[in-house]
Amino acid sequence: MIEVRNISKHFGSTVAVQNVSFDVARGEVLGFLGPNGAGKSTTMRILTGYIPPSEGSARIAGHDLLEDSLAIRRRIGYLPENAPLYGDMEVVDFLRFVGTIRGIPPGEMRERIARMVKLCGLEKVVGRTIQHLSKGYRQRVGLAQAMIHDPDILILDEPTSGLDPNQIMEIRELIKELGREKTVILSTHILPEVSATCGRVLIVNEGMLVASGSPEELGAGLEGGGLLRVQVRAPSREVLDEKLRDAEFVTEHVFTKEADGDLHHLTIRGVDARGLGERIFRLVVENGWSLAELRLEGATLEDVFRRITRGEEA
């Protein structure tokens, strides 16, 4: 859906983006992760046709970025950073304005707006002037305008900034939902967001792409990735040992200490870090044992991020 090739952008002597290439497939949710000023927004502005790259090229939905910007813009829904909106307009008028420019036929407009209002939870504020809305509502209005024409591609620059925890959860759910059919690129500097919503992550720092992969891959790429520390109450060590050996989702298990009576201490490594804890839990329950402790050890995305962007040793 999106093919980015060697894109660079400099403003005078400052380099904002340097030689970035990546692909995004249909139905993929791609997260752009990086500290503030890493070039996330600039890359998004380039993809949405707001500014051209200094070098490099990109094809989006089969169209060339520089030659067919208008066709690309029709297929993209874009939420710029901080959700800039026309403060003096009412929410419904604003959505109608964007919808009209997006070419939604007048006959369908009412229904489309109603759908967006429902999807983004704007029922209480449709008739309100945008400048009087809270940050959370503004952000949701921004999302609504980005999705009103049902675009194939959504580009969201920090979609959850300024939202409260409940709203963040809602928006993440929404993005995951959308990601099933649409291509979504979102940027954030909040790490749990990426693990929660994205299938793939690009970590950018100082304008350069420094790592990419699924959140699990990036975590597992480090020593100690996906390691579970477990304490199980089970009658015999042999049975426990055998069951873990038979479980296909466990790649490695080690008894770390002598058992305290029937309490066994282990570390377990899995094929897939995601859901490993849950599977272990189920295994324990199925066998009628009990779980005294279950803790994920080692590298999270946070560690990866910190290490890569600061060049620290783990």
Partner 1 sequence: MSNIRTITAKEFRSYFDSPIAYIYITFFLVLSSWLFLRGFFLVGQASMRGFFGILPWLLLFFVPAVTMRLWAEEKKLGTIELLMTLPVKDHEVVLGKFLASFSFFFVTLALSFSVPLVISILGDPDPGPIWGGYIGAVLLGASFLAIGLFISSLTENQIIAFIIGITLTFVLFILGEEFVVYNAPRAVVPLLKHLGLGAHYDSIGRGVIDSRDVLYYLSVVVFFLYLNVRTVESRKWK
Return residues touching partner 1 (CB under 8 A): 45, 48-52, 54, 70, 73-74, 76, 78, 80-82, 84-89, 93, 97-98, 100-103, 129, 145
Nearer to partner 1, 86 or 281 (CB): 86
Nearest-angstrom CA–CA distance, 173 and 181: 14
Residue 23 near residue 2, CB atoms below 8 Å: yes
Nearest-angstrom CA–CA distance, 204 and 291: 40
Question: What is the nearest approach in angstroms of partner 1 to the Cβ of residue 309?
Answer: 26
Residue 253 near residue 240, CB atoms below 8 Å: no
Question: What is the nearest approach in angstroms of partner 1 to the Cβ of residue 215?
Answer: 28
Nearer to partner 1, 102 or 243 (CB): 102
Nearest 5°: phi and psi at 294?
A: -145, 115
Nearest-angstrom CA–CA distance, 244 and 298: 21
Where residue 311 falls (left for φ over 0; alpha for ψ -120 to 50; beta otherwise) is: left
Nearer to partner 1, 31 or 77 (CB): 77
Question: What is the nearest approach in angstroms of partner 1 to the Cβ of residue 142?
Answer: 8
Nearer to partner 1, 33 or 98 (CB): 98
Nearest-angstrom CA–CA distance, 30 and 187: 8
Question: What is the nearest approach in angstroms of partner 1 to the Cβ of residue 24?
Answer: 18
Where residue 36 falls (left for φ over 0; alpha for ψ -120 to 50; beta otherwise) is: beta
Nearer to partner 1, 101 or 314 (CB): 101
Nearer to partner 1, 22 or 78 (CB): 78
Looking at the DSSP bridge assignments, the partners of residue 103 are: none
Residues whose CB falls within 8 Å of the CB of residue 98, separated by 6 or more in sequence, listed in order: 145, 148
Return the closest-CA partner of residue 109 out of 77, 143, 140, 149. 149
The token pair that represents 56 in the structure block: 């490099």
Question: What is the nearest approach in angstroms of partner 1 to the Cβ of residue 101?
Answer: 5
Question: What is the nearest approach in angstroms of partner 1 to the Cβ of residue 100?
Answer: 5
Nearer to partner 1, 97 or 281 (CB): 97
Residue 240 near residue 234, CB atoms below 8 Å: yes
Question: What is the nearest approach in angstroms of partner 1 to the Cβ of residue 16?
Answer: 12
